[in-house]
Structure 1
Amino acid sequence: MLDLINDLLWGKVLITLLLAVGIGFTLASRFVQFRHFGRMFRILGAGHAFKRDKHGHLSSFQALLLSVAGRVGGGNIAGVAVAITLGGPGAIFWMWVVGLMGMATSYLECTLAQAYKTAQPDGTYRGGPAYYIVHGLGQRWHWLAALYSVLLLVTFGFGFTALQSYAVATSFNDAFGVPVVYSGIGMALVVGLIVFGGIKRIARVTEVLVPVMALGYILIALVVLGLNFARIPEAILLIVNSAFGLEQAVGGGIGAAIMMGVKRGLFSNEAGLGSAPNVAAVAYVPHPANQGIVQAFSVFIDTLIICSATALIILLSGAYDPAAGVDIGGVALTQTALADHVGEWGRSFVSVALLLFGFSTILYNYYLGENSLNFFSEGNVTLFNAFRVAIIGLCTWGALTDLGTVFAFADVTMGLLAVANLVGLIMLFKPGLRIMRDYDEQLRAGIPHPVFDAARFSDLNIDPAAWDIEPEDRQRLEQERAASLATN
């Protein structure tokens, strides 16, 4: 039954909705993910000015790293290998296409999450799909927001936390012989120390962990590319030709390539699932579109950079024969491919990378669960502490348990989660475009860092307290605006 529901959700309903939103908003926004690609880097530079400020806000850069911690995970290592095994090299091309369209979806959902965020007494913010559904669509849609929050808690807060613990513990056991019980207990202790510190401590940990794990994985990929520099054009040509049936695509031809590329791309970058907006909403930025642009870059990092790195490691190795296919899949294929390039230590490297990716994802999953609880009982410390204890228990239990049924159930709840979010996004297309145009108009007027005036959007039911920019930051932004206008 779970398999049938998954096939319906992921094979038909979700692919149609996700592509419709991604392509639809790409066209309606005049390709916003490409128009503002250069601004992604300028915004991150400006975000550093707010980093760990005295008011306790999280910067745009910290929120980016927290979302990357969730997006970048097993899908980047094992998922890419599965796509190539079942869909052939052409699946990677369609994964790229989905990633580029998903950047627009992520822009929309994260801009809305910022616009509809609510201010908290401790100086942080809360937001996400549940918040933009109930505030953007009105109380009559409260049931959809509540349903989304329950699904978020069950899927990420509970299900995927246990699954990540299982993946990390078993991978470490395979690579180094560490008993899963020790890995589970060790992970539970470390996670407990972090999550009891709240979102600010999680952000500080991911600020260190995510660059180390992502840059380390990209670095080893660059080493592989350097060792096989002359064959890179051949690998890219194989990907493109296979995508259009010009080469044999192992696993069922062009249809399989498209299906696996779309499914693995969507699963990896999470654009449209509504998970990243929960994190995007916590950032302190002058305009909602800032975080929309930055989170679009998060999808680019996940799919266009890290997934591509895994694909090239596999396709340039002796472990993959495009004519015969492969007898192994998942993380084992990635491990075998890297070992073929750099020696047996490559297997251990993949296991360590999976450990870091999985650990950071557990922290991310915890925050998503906490945010869903906050929607029902705002600021309830007792409830949060009970959830933190549950997360610690799940880390240990997940490492010791066969989670096949849990995984299938979580796939169903994640599919329903995405449907709830995508319905909300479709109905909030107009507010999303309106906020984007406000940002674009200020840029055209010569304002280097547009500022969001909540009073101009009072009809959207936005919390004005969440847009009360600190006096020193407002003064600095106004000085930059005056200087730019004078120059122009």
Structure 2
Amino acid sequence: MQNIVDFFNGLVWSPPLVYGLLAVGLYFSLRMRFFQIRHFKEMIRLMFQGEKSPVGISSFQAIAVSLSGRVGTGNIVGVATAIFIGGPGAIFWMWLIAFLGAGSAFVESTLAQIYKQNEDNQYRGGPAYYIEKGIGGKIGKIYAVIFALVTILATGFLLPGIQSNSIAGSMTNSFPMPHWVVGAGLVLLVGIVIFGGIKSIANVATAVVPFMAVVYVIVAIIVVIINIQDVPAMFGLIFRSAFGMEQQFGGIVGGMIAIGVQRGIYSNEAGQGTGPHAAGAAEVSHPAKQGLVQSFSVYVDTLFVCTATALMILMTGMYNVSDGGDGFIVDSGVYQESPGGERNYSGTVAYTQAGLDNAFHGQETFNPDFVGFGSYFITFALLFFCYTTILAYYYIAETNLVYITRGRWPIMKTLLGLMLVLSAFYGTVSTAGLAWDMGDLGVGLMAWLNVIAILILQKPALRALKDFEQQKKQKGSGKFAIYRPDEGEVKNAGFWHHDYPERLRQEDYQYPGEDIPKK
């Protein structure tokens, strides 16, 4: 299995994808005049605007669901893995892909809103929908089905194992229990929620993700304060390493960029095609609103949470850096035992746990028998982050299943749920390397298909931003922006052409504080 996964990963994560993702993010940022800076305040305001309806969730709930998918093991274990493979400089490339990736996130999420539709009395949207409607014809339909099938495979089977493997690893570091026990408990917790639909998942995500993200960043700030004298040197190390100016890491620049982009994409998911599913479920009066909100979620994920992890690891020196073979460029002695009992020196949750134990308990060298605040805190942070990520994966897989079946054969949803929980259980008892490689394959396949699609379909999204900015300028606030696309310019956007104009005539759907003019 490992050899098969390695072979396909080598094809998928080739230089064209790695550098292509950077280029696409830069292209969209330039086309939209670096909107991620110009509209930063607007992103935050729109996130809390609170529009919703009986069939749609609010922007805040949508970003919570998106963050539940984004903020997970990639933010804790993925950062450690990036440092292990690419050294401290990999963090810079994670930052860069997050900043530029906001452009890709805006386009894909805005397209999800433009081409969303009402199915099963709830909004459904995402790449499969905008590929079919935006490209049109048989080519669009076939392309959309391929994306939907790949996404069901990735989020329903390949990706859950990464999250559950990280939960099991952290739990067994802190508590003496077998991995299968962790897996059984996780199956129960996931199964209780996933069959409640998007509103159930959104309620859990809204309650858990913002709270844990804030607490996690606060703990990182405390670590920074404790080690404040080391801050300039640490940032200097990151930037020097990123461009090969640090002699120690000069020979791994290529791998550093690749792993930084790869882990950055896995963490913030910009351009991957997962975020648009939650974006399409939101109730907004203009697609660009949700595009801006989803762009902000990329910042939260990488610039806040991933940076918090990097600070805790690098400032305490609790990390290893591989030389590409069996040796180490940096060897702090930190390791984690795998399910089989062997020592695993790759980037794992043990780095972050050891870093916190170093900061709060003075454990300057790795002691596998010591379990302190760091171990317990990271264990519970991973439990909540990874749990909500698995829930988000189910919703994404379900949305694509509904797209393919058109709501028929409800038994397929049950089978999908069973496949996902079995995948999560398998992840708890498998090796970390195989779990991550399978997840990387799923992410790469989705990214290839989605990036090509948003490049083809970019015009409606770019026009939507321009329309939003014009209305904001005329009315003094983007709060009052209403999307009324011309049917000749934006085809197959049935919701905005027919359903939404009808809803504007119904007072029941007036948004709080808005005086929406009737058309």
TM value normalised by structure 2:
0.86
- Match of residue 390, structure 2, among 347, 351, 362: 362
1:406 Cα shift?
5.9
1:164 aligned residue: 163
1:254 Cα shift?
3.7
1:21 Cα shift?
1.5
Which residue type is aligned with residue 45 of structure 1?
A: F
C-alpha separation between the residues in 1 aligned to 2:360 and 2:407? Answer: 50
Alpha-carbon contact 2:170-2:378 (below 8 Å) kept: no
Structure 1, gaps ≥5 residues long: 483-488
Per-residue CA deviation, residues 10-43 of structure 1 (Å, 9 max, x unaligned), is: 2313113212211111111111211111101110
2:5 aligned residue: 2
Q: Does 1:386 align with 2:384?
A: no
Residues 85 and 181 (structure 1), Cα distance of their counterparts in 2 relative to 1, 3 Å cut: closer
1:249 Cα shift?
4.8
Structure 2, gaps ≥5 residues long: 322-327, 335-346, 362-371
Percent identical residues? 39
C-alpha separation between the residues in 1 aligned to 2:272 and 2:195? Answer: 26
Q: Does 1:76 align with 2:75?
A: yes
1:472 Cα shift?
4.7
Number of residues of Structure 1 aligned to a counterpart in Structure 2: 477
1:313 aligned residue: 312
Alpha-carbon contact 1:87-1:249 (below 8 Å) kept: no
Mean Cα displacement is larger for which, 303-312 or 331-340? Answer: 331-340
1:305 Cα shift?
0.6
C-alpha separation between the residues in 2 aligned to 1:404 and 1:246? Answer: 30
C-alpha separation between the residues in 2 aligned to 1:481 and 1:232? Answer: 53
1:331 Cα shift?
1.8
Residues 170 and 143 (structure 1), Cα distance of their counterparts in 2 relative to 1, 3 Å cut: same
Residues 28 and 201 (structure 1), Cα distance of their counterparts in 2 relative to 1, 3 Å cut: same
Alpha-carbon contact 2:170-2:349 (below 8 Å) kept: no
Alpha-carbon contact 1:85-1:250 (below 8 Å) kept: no
C-alpha separation between the residues in 1 aligned to 2:393 and 2:474? Answer: 40
Matches within 5 A, 1:32-51: 32-47=35-50, 50=51
C-alpha separation between the residues in 1 aligned to 2:516 and 2:48? Answer: 15
Matches within 5 A, 1:55-70: 55-70=54-69
Residues 406 and 332 (structure 1), Cα distance of their counterparts in 2 relative to 1, 3 Å cut: closer
Q: Does 1:471 align with 2:470?
A: no
Alpha-carbon contact 1:250-1:325 (below 8 Å) kept: no
Matches within 5 A, 1:336-351: 336-343=354-361, 344-351=372-379
**Structure with the largest fraction of helix:** 1
Q: Give the alignment's Cα RMSD to 1 decimal.
A: 2.5
- Match of residue 482, structure 2, among 451, 455, 475: 451
1:129 Cα shift?
0.4
C-alpha separation between the residues in 1 aligned to 2:414 and 2:38? Answer: 43
C-alpha separation between the residues in 2 aligned to 1:333 and 1:184? Answer: 22
Residues 239 and 457 (structure 1), Cα distance of their counterparts in 2 relative to 1, 3 Å cut: farther
Alpha-carbon contact 1:90-1:249 (below 8 Å) kept: no
C-alpha separation between the residues in 2 aligned to 1:131 and 1:200? Answer: 20
2:129 aligned residue: 131
Alpha-carbon contact 1:87-1:251 (below 8 Å) kept: no
Alpha-carbon contact 2:88-2:241 (below 8 Å) kept: yes
1:475 Cα shift?
6.8
1:436 aligned residue: 465
Alpha-carbon contact 1:73-1:354 (below 8 Å) kept: yes
1:189 aligned residue: 188
2:338 aligned residue: none
Q: Does 1:304 align with 2:307?
A: no
Q: Does 1:462 align with 2:502?
A: no
Alpha-carbon contact 2:460-2:490 (below 8 Å) kept: no
1:166 Cα shift?
3.0
Q: Does 1:415 align with 2:420?
A: no
C-alpha separation between the residues in 2 aligned to 1:80 and 1:428? Answer: 32
Per-residue CA deviation, residues 226-255 of structure 1 (Å, 9 max, x unaligned), is: 212232222222222322333335372543
1:230 aligned residue: 229
Secondary structure at the aligned position of 1:252 is classed as helix
Residues 133 and 83 (structure 1), Cα distance of their counterparts in 2 relative to 1, 3 Å cut: same
1:174 aligned residue: 173
Which residue type is aligned with residue 385 of structure 1?
A: T
1:333 aligned residue: 351
Mean Cα displacement is larger for which, 164-173 or 345-354? Answer: 164-173
